[in-house]
Structure 1
Amino acid sequence: MAASATKQSLLMLASLLVLIGVATGSFYDSFDITWGAGRANIFESGQLLTCTLDKISGSGFQSKKEYLFGKIDMKIKLVAGNSAGTVTAYYLSSKGEKWDEIDFEFLGNVTGQPYVLHTNVFTGGIGNREMQFYLWFDPTADFHTYTVLWNPLNIIFLVDGIPIRVFKNNEANGVAYPKNQPMKIYSSLWEADDWATQGGKVKIDWTNAPFSASYKSFNDVDCCSRTSIWDWVTCNANSNSWMWTTLNANQLGQLKWVQDDYMIYNYCTDFKRFPQGLPTECNHN
């Protein structure tokens, strides 16, 4: 009888631990839905978040924490079908007139045409560092992992673990680098048919609304963060190798493959845009 009671207690404890495990790291714990009047929602005990867009409004959310360096993963499944004129934005940003920002933006397209992955880095409120890519898969068919690895040495953009872009710390050459302003994570699904698809030539077809993007498997285990502006930024003491990560030889090969085969715009090769000379960091890659 005692053995049976002990076994039952252990099973109850195990069940409780499973429940705690499910709740830990959920979207409920990590994010606040900030706009959209019910168009963004959390499902599956906190493991799935969706944003929707209709003719009245888009929707969005932001992290509860602020980050000052980190390796941050999010799995995203983008708007399927005719997504022209929609933008799914996923980025880190600080506040103020001289803000820092690290951007992933996914520009929708007509059915059968590829999404454009738009990336940018802002330092001190100045961006103009756009690089754009097609993807080597259909980002609407399933979830794929989009990662920002931001440390004192470089910012690495990765897709399914494959680096697509690196922005190096070039302070030694007079280029500002984001290292002092903590950033929150933001994401939103919104209408941008004045510019997003073929420079605004293709408009949203509202007969396809509501549009929807989905998120899961958020991971910020490797990061330095704080939960309030009154707190110190603290790092994960058990896992800090990411803090000094740069690309290894294999990853440099992957980066070259992506940029050779899938990059469709690079500000560092746009001489017409910068007739007085390319930005300084373009000469120090």
Structure 2
Amino acid sequence: MNSSIRAAKLLHVLAATAFLFAAASAGNFDQDVSITWGGPRARILNGGQLLTLSLDNISGSGFESKNAYLFARFDVQLKLVPGNSAGTVTTFFLSSQGPNHDEIDFEFLGNSSGQPYTIHTNIYTQGVGNREQQFRPWFDPTTAFHTYTILWNPSRIIYMVDNIPIRVFNNYAANGVSFPAGQAMRVYASLWNADDWATQGGRVKTDWSKAPFTASYAKYNAVGCVVSAAGNSCNGNLTGQPWQTQGLDGNGRNRIRWIQQKYMIYNYCADLIRFPRGLPRECKLPRF
């Protein structure tokens, strides 16, 4: 059995595991989120088990979580816009409010029919981002649901796809690297038109004859420290839940190296043209 077949089988097994995890712990959109824009273009269906966002030439749509969190694990299953999705951006991200906000992004950049999506990730701290990494999916993200995870704990941020880590951003505050640790964030999701930059740098525009474009969300789940006027549900302390200290073991480090070698298409830490005076400080510290 060659290495490509073994790798494909491993990814299939890991995807099945992630699906079972999400199915066992899924929340309810009616209870957990609010439609914030787009009117009837956003719909909660199947008793709160499915949420669809649509985009046409008038408007996109979006939702946000009812709760805000200071550290948590967020999972959602997502099926992206099929066919010619050029110009569209589907998102699942965390954000605080204000000009000095923190933000942890999953953005899915559409493409022309037959071309792969781009999985775009970025992290903002105190209003400053510029920490992009981009990947190609190793599957068709439009034909079936796949699980996307943002794990945010005091030590690190881990992005996962079908429970496979694709990116880690460690808390190197002690080394002078800012880390989102002081502002509560809500979950946001949207489907919107970004044909000025999303596909091939804006060269390929949205084909409105294909509208409405629709993305589907399922099995949303958030487990973490809820912040409200009454305080923090974790009382500002670790409470022994696995996500609060989760990192990468040896297998996880091997998986993320393999994913980044095979499927990463952009890494800000390798962009010497963009940072001619030197790469950001975290790029010189251990990645995993």
- Common fold by TM > 0.5: yes
1:195 to 194, 197, 203: 197
The equivalences for 1:161-200 within 5 A come to 161-200=163-202
Counterpart for residue 256 of structure 2: 255
TM-score under structure 2 normalisation?
A: 0.88
User: How big is the shift at 1:240?
Assistant: 1.1
**Corresponding pairs, count:** 259
Counterpart for residue 226 of structure 2: 225
Q: Residues 206 and 239 of structure 1: is their aligned pair in 2 closer, same or farther, counting only changes over 3 Å?
A: farther
| In structure 2, distance between residues paired with 1:72 and 1:192 | 25
| In structure 1, distance between residues paired with 2:132 and 2:84 | 24
Q: Deviations over 1:209-267 (max 9, x none)?
A: 000000010111x31113x3x12121398761211111010010100011000000000
1:110 to 109, 112, 116: 112
Partner-residue secondary structure (3-state), 1:91: strand
Partner-residue secondary structure (3-state), 1:235: coil
Q: Deviations over 1:34-67 (max 9, x none)?
A: 0002110000001000000000000000000001
User: How big is the shift at 1:102?
Assistant: 0.2
Amino acid at match of 1:186: Y
Check if 1:126 corresponds to 2:128: yes
Counterpart for residue 16 of structure 1: none
TM-score under structure 1 normalisation?
A: 0.89
In terms of Rg, which structure is larger?
1
2:217 to 186, 205, 215: 215
| In structure 2, distance between residues paired with 1:139 and 1:235 | 35
Identity within the alignment, %? 58
Partner-residue secondary structure (3-state), 1:135: coil
| In structure 2, distance between residues paired with 1:163 and 1:175 | 22
Counterpart for residue 61 of structure 2: 59
Counterpart for residue 148 of structure 1: 150
Counterpart for residue 270 of structure 1: 271
The equivalences for 1:70-89 within 5 A come to 70-89=72-91
Amino acid at match of 2:179: Y
| In structure 1, distance between residues paired with 2:217 and 2:79 | 7
| In structure 1, distance between residues paired with 2:268 and 2:32 | 34
| In structure 2, distance between residues paired with 1:143 and 1:55 | 26
Partner-residue secondary structure (3-state), 1:81: coil
The equivalences for 1:37-56 within 5 A come to 37-56=39-58
After TM superposition, which residue ranges in structure 1, 4 or more long, deviate above 3 angstroms?
A: 235-239
Amino acid at match of 2:251: N
User: How big is the shift at 1:195?
Assistant: 0.3
| In structure 2, distance between residues paired with 1:25 and 1:165 | 25
| In structure 2, distance between residues paired with 1:71 and 1:37 | 28
| In structure 2, distance between residues paired with 1:134 and 1:102 | 19
| In structure 2, distance between residues paired with 1:81 and 1:231 | 46
Amino acid at match of 2:278: G
Amino acid at match of 1:155: I
User: How big is the shift at 1:25?
Assistant: 2.8
Q: Deviations over 1:112-139 (max 9, x none)?
A: 1000000000000000000000000000
Pairwise CA RMSD of aligned residues?
1.3
